Amino acid sequence: MFSRAATPFVQKVVAGSAAVTGLTASYLLYKDSLSAQAMTAAEHGLHPPAYGWSHNGMFETFDHASIRRGFQVYREVCASCHSLDRIAWRNLVGVSHTASEAKEMCEELEYDDEPDDEGLPRKRPGKLADYIPGPYENEEAARAGNQGALPPDLSLIVKARHGGCDYIFSLLTGYPEEPPAGVVLPPGTNYNPYFPGGAIAMGRVLFDDLVEYEDGTPATTSQMAKDVTTFLNWTAEPEHDERKRWGLKALIVVSSLYLVSIWVKRYKWAAVKARKFRFDPPKKN
């Protein structure tokens, strides 16, 4: 009785309910994309497209010319609000700057020195071992200077955000002229679809020809965003180039050992696998 095939009527009911379910789900998803309340797609931010970074891939190093230009963008633009606590001047040497260039940059700055004989604080010019100073003394000062918003430290920002480089680049270049109709922003914020929630305290900062590159690269908005993102990826992963070189070595050695182990297994088992049992029944009388 249960093995009976579904009648045409039952088939129609099943197909109809599947269609209704699909259309309802599509409609709800569409409605969801129209609003920006909690637990909607807009709350999580627009997903960035995947860009073809020059360091994408297992064996690709950073583009060091880009790191150098990106540091220039950081220093002239980002550094007015964002710190870079984990990078010392010495880290730039041999990566994007020469030792004398790095020395020149840090010696322009003043760092705390040991107190003098009477215990009074002293200052000294920077050394290569000093870390790049942030724009604010502490978090409270940073918030006070930015209407309560804290500009995050950028040392590890590429690792700390979903989407990594793609997200940072999209965020920097993704400010529309006007927020879309109907978007209500809290005071002191700007609209950026890539930022979760859409309301970001940072405004658009990169505009064409904001900096002048020493190598003559045209400083378009996207060029600067690309360079500073590459730079921030380097600050997040200074070991990147060496890591990929070691990865190549490890892959070669480990896969060779794997192939050798397969060969040894087949060699050792060859006799077992190739043997043949034969049973000759005793002849009956």
Partner 1 sequence: MVCNYIASLFRRNSIYVATIFGGAFAFQAFFNYGVTSWYENHNKGKLWKDVKGKFVEGADSEDDE
Partner 2 sequence: MVSYVRGPLYKSVKSIGGLNFPLFKTYLPDLILWGGAAGAGVAVFTEGVPLFKNTFYTKIPYFGSYWEYNPDPEDVPI
The verdict on 7 binding partner 2 (CB under 8 A) reads: no
Residues 212, 268: Cα–Cα separation, whole Å: 67
**Rounded to the nearest 5°, which phi and psi values hold at 277?**
-95, 135
Cβ distance to partner 2 smaller for residue 68 or 161: 68
Residues 148, 170: Cα–Cα separation, whole Å: 24
The verdict on 215 binding partner 1 (CB under 8 A) reads: yes
Helices 221-236 and 164-173, packing angle to 10 deg: 150
Please state the closest distance from residue 128 (CB atom) to partner 2, in A: 5
Q: Which two tokens stand for residue 258?
A: 């794997």
Judged by CB under 8 A, the residue of 31, 159, 245, 265 near partner 1 is 245
* Residue count, binding to partner 2 (CB under 8 A): 10
With CB under 5 to 8 Å by kind, the binding choice for 128 among partner 1, partner 2, none is partner 2
Distances (CA, A) of 95 to 62, 75, 104, 113, 240: 10, 16, 16, 28, 11
The verdict on 94 binding partner 1 (CB under 8 A) reads: yes
Please state the closest distance from residue 59 (CB atom) to partner 2, in A: 21
The verdict on 60 binding partner 1 (CB under 8 A) reads: yes
Judged by CB under 8 A, the residue of 98, 222, 255, 261 near partner 1 is 98
The verdict on 102 binding partner 2 (CB under 8 A) reads: yes
* 186 close to 199: Cβ distance less than 8 angstroms: yes
Please state the closest distance from residue 60 (CB atom) to partner 1, in A: 7
b/e per residue, 137-169, with b = 16+ CB within 10 A? eeeeebeeeeeeeebebbbbbbeebebbbbbbb
Tell me whether residue 106 is annotated as binding.
no
| 174-183 CB contacts, 8 Å cutoff, 24+ apart | 174/46, 175/203, 175/204, 183/36
Judged by CB under 8 A, the residue of 32, 41, 47, 64 near partner 1 is 64
Question: Letter for the amino acid at 215?
Answer: D
Judged by CB under 8 A, the residue of 128, 150, 156, 201 near partner 2 is 128
The verdict on 90 binding partner 2 (CB under 8 A) reads: yes
In sign, the C-alpha dihedral spanning 81, 86, 90, 96 is: negative
Please state the closest distance from residue 167 (CB atom) to partner 1, in A: 23
The verdict on 33 binding partner 2 (CB under 8 A) reads: no
What residues make contact with partner 1 under the rule CB under 8 A?
54, 59-65, 68, 94-96, 98, 101, 214-215, 241, 244-245, 248-249, 252-253
What residues make contact with partner 2 under the rule CB under 8 A?
89-91, 93-94, 98-100, 102, 128
Annotated binding-site residues for heme c read 78, 81-82, 202
